């Protein structure tokens, strides 16, 4: 349905080959009550990574200015939000309207929906131009997120450390997220933990991250 809006260069590309997700592959890492996340290395094929990266060159990224503790800041990365209609997202006091799904991102959403039995209806794409760009400590706990829903994170490009810390007991984890890796963040990760993407000042290479989410449609119009 989105095909007509595709940039021309992808028309000739081979389609995704459907990834066969074997039980073994899923079993490589299991979420536990103590650590409610699950890492699947190399979930995206090389072909998928290439197509998504290429498609992202056409995404309308922006660097909005947001209010943090009463002060205005331009976010240290660029982002864009795609989603089903009505799946707008209020982010640090800023209403982001859902843009229609680009082709390969729509296909990836479908694949994730099937592989993990999730109802994903929006994706935040973050582009980190280099190691100076980053994301501070936060939990993804906005009220428009469906109650107790999981968030699926996929990474492309440069490998970056992803830090996780417990809100109460101070436990810390660091996961190096490489191109193609998938991190499944199950409930109650967003209730009990924060995460961040620290800067790496010497790194010159860009990275993309997609976090697929389930939003309560028309939340902000009710
Ligand atoms: O870039 C990442 O790996 C993290 C992104 C993230 O935490 C978010 O979009 O909420
Ligand atoms: Fe996050």
| 197 Cβ below 6 A of ligand 1 | yes
* Angle at alpha carbon of residue 121, lines to 123 and 146, rounded to 5°: 100
What's the 11 CA to ligand 2 centre distance in angstroms?
Answer: 32
| 92 Cβ below 6 A of ligand 1 | no
What is the model's pLDDT at position 28? 56
What is the model's pLDDT at position 96? 86
- How many angstroms separate the Cα of 59 from the Cα of each of 53, 86, 104? 10, 20, 12
| 209 Cβ below 6 A of ligand 1 | yes
What is the model's pLDDT at position 23? 40
Which ligand has its closest atom nearest to the C-alpha of 124? 1
What is the model's pLDDT at position 66? 85
Cα separation, 59 vs 203, whole angstroms: 23
This prediction's pTM: 0.87
> Which option is the CATH number for 36-221: 3.40.50.300, 2.60.120.590, 3.40.50.970, 2.60.40.10?
2.60.120.590
What is the model's pLDDT at position 205? 98
Q: Which residue has the least CA distance to atom 9 on ligand 1?
A: 211
| Domain range list for the chain | 36-221
What is the model's pLDDT at position 8? 32
* Angle at alpha carbon of residue 111, lines to 94 and 153, rounded to 5°: 45
Give per-10-residue mean pLDDT for the chain (222 aa).
36 39 50 87 97 98 89 94 94 85 98 97 98 97 95 98 96 97 97 98 98 95 74
Atom of ligand 1 nearest to the CA of 155: 3
| 126 Cβ below 6 A of ligand 1 | yes
């Amino acid at each position: 349905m989105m095909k007509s809006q595709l940039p021309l260069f992808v028309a000739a590309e081979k389609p995704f080959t459907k990834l066969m997700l074997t039980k073994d592959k899923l079993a490589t890492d299991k979420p536990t009550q103590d650590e409610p996340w699950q890492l699947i290395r190399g979930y995206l094929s090389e072909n998928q990574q290439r197509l998504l990266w290429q498609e992202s060159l056409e995404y309308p990224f922006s660097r909005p200015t947001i209010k943090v503790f009463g002060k205005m800041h331009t976010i240290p990365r660029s982002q864009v939000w795609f989603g089903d209609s009505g799946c707008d997202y209020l982010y640090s006091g800023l209403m982001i309207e859902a843009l229609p799904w680009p082709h390969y991102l729509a296909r990836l959403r479908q694949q994730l929906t099937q592989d993990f039995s999730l109802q994903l209806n929006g994706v935040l794409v973050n582009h980190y131009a280099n190691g100076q760009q980053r994301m501070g400590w936060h939990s993804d706990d906005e009220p428009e997120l469906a109650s107790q829903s999981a968030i699926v994170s996929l990474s492309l490009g440069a490998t970056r450390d992803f830090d996780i810390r417990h809100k109460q007991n101070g436990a810390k984890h660091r996961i190096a997220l490489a191109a193609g890796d998938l991190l499944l963040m199950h409930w109650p990760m967003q209730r009990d933990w924060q995460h961040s993407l620290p800067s790496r000042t010497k790194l010159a290479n860009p990275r993309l991250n997609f976090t697929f989410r389930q939003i309560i449609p028309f939340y902000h119009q009710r």
